[in-house]
Amino acid sequence: MENFLQSKKAKVIIIIAALILIIIFAVSVINHGGLSLTSDDGEAQTTSDDNKDSSADDKTDSADASDNGKEDLSDIKFEETEEEEGIQAFFIPAEDIYTFSMTDESGAVLSFKRQQSEWIYAGDESVDVDEKQIDKLLSSLCDIYYTDVIDSKDGSEYGLSKSSKRYELADSSGSSTIISVGNAVDGQESKVYFALNYDFTKIYVNNDKLSKITANSLQDFE
C-alpha cells in the first residue's frame, strides 16, 4: 500500500481529487451568496444580482423624482388680453395723465386733477372721488383705435362740433388732447364717430370702446 501511495499514479490521483473538491467548494460559494472580490483600493465589490436590482431601483426613483420636480403647465389657464381692432389714433400712458375734463349730460365741464396719487374734483375738493371709476374712464380714453377714417367738411353730419361730447386729457407739461365724440354709426350702435383736437375735417370710426363709456355726471364718480 505504501508503495502504491508513493507511486506517481497515486500522486496524480490525489491532485485531481483535491482539484475536484476545490471546484465543488467554489461553485457552492457562488450559488449561495456571491463571490466577493477585493479591489486595489481595499473596497469590497459584490457581483450578486441583488446589487444590480438595487441600482436599477435607485435609477427609477431618481427619474420619478425628477419628473415630479417639473412644473405641470397643462392645466394652467393664462388670461388672454383682447386687443382692440383697428389702427391706433391716440395714445398716452394712463399714469402720465395729470388732469382731465369732460362735458356732462347737461354740457357743463367737469374737471379733475391728480394730487400725488389721488384724483381730486377741481370744482369742489371736498367731493369724495371714486378713483376706480376714473381709472376705468381713463383706460378707455388713453388708447383709442379707429377702423375707418372719413373726410368731412365740418363733421356736423356725424354729430361732431365744438358743442358735442368731449374729453380732454393733459400731461404734467400741459400738453393736451381733446377727444370729441359724435353719433353712433347707423345700424351699428357699438361704433361711434370721433374727432381729435376739434379737427372735424377728419372723422374717425371707433369700433366699440368709446360707446361703452357710461359716466355722464359728477355722481358717476362719487
Judgement on whether residues 1 and 92 belong to the same structural domain of the protein: no
Judgement on whether residues 24 and 133 belong to the same structural domain of the protein: no
Whether residue 58 is contained in a domain is answered as: no
Judgement on whether residues 111 and 209 belong to the same structural domain of the protein: yes
CA separation for the pair 89, 149 (Å, rounded): 10
Whether residue 160 is contained in a domain is answered as: yes
Whether residue 54 is contained in a domain is answered as: no
Judgement on whether residues 215 and 111 belong to the same structural domain of the protein: yes
Whether residue 103 is contained in a domain is answered as: yes
Whether residue 213 is contained in a domain is answered as: yes
Judgement on whether residues 12 and 104 belong to the same structural domain of the protein: no
Name the amino acid, one letter, at 131. Answer: E
Total structural domains within the chain: 2
Its domain, for residue 20, covers 1-32
Digits of tens for pLDDT over the chain (222 positions)?
Answer: 455 445 666 666 778 877 787 888 777 766 665 444 444 444 444 444 554 455 445 544 544 544 444 434 333 333 333 456 799 999 999 999 999 999 998 999 999 999 888 999 999 999 999 989 999 999 999 999 999 999 999 999 999 999 999 999 999 899 999 999 999 999 888 899 999 999 999 999 998 889 889 888 999 998
Whether residue 78 is contained in a domain is answered as: no
CA separation for the pair 62, 135 (Å, rounded): 52
> What pLDDT sits at residue 192?
96
Judgement on whether residues 92 and 193 belong to the same structural domain of the protein: yes
pTM of the predicted protein model? 0.61
Judgement on whether residues 194 and 98 belong to the same structural domain of the protein: yes
> What pLDDT sits at residue 57?
53
CA separation for the pair 176, 157 (Å, rounded): 26
> What pLDDT sits at residue 188?
87
Judgement on whether residues 25 and 135 belong to the same structural domain of the protein: no
> What pLDDT sits at residue 83?
58
What's the pLDDT tens digit per position in 4-16?
Answer: 445 666 666 778 8
> What pLDDT sits at residue 109?
95
Whether residue 112 is contained in a domain is answered as: yes
**DSSP codes joined into one string, the chain:** -HHHHHSHHHHHHHHHHHHHHHHHHHHHHHHTT--EEE-TTS-EEE--HHHHHHHHHHHHHHHHHHHHHS---TT--PPPPPPPSSEEEEE--GGGEEEEEEE-TTS-EEEEEEETTEEEETT-TTS---HHHHHHHHHHHSEEEESEEEE-SSSGGGT-STTSEEEEEEETT--EEEEEEEEEETTEEEEEEEEETT-TTEEEEE-STGGG----SGGGG-
CA separation for the pair 77, 66 (Å, rounded): 24
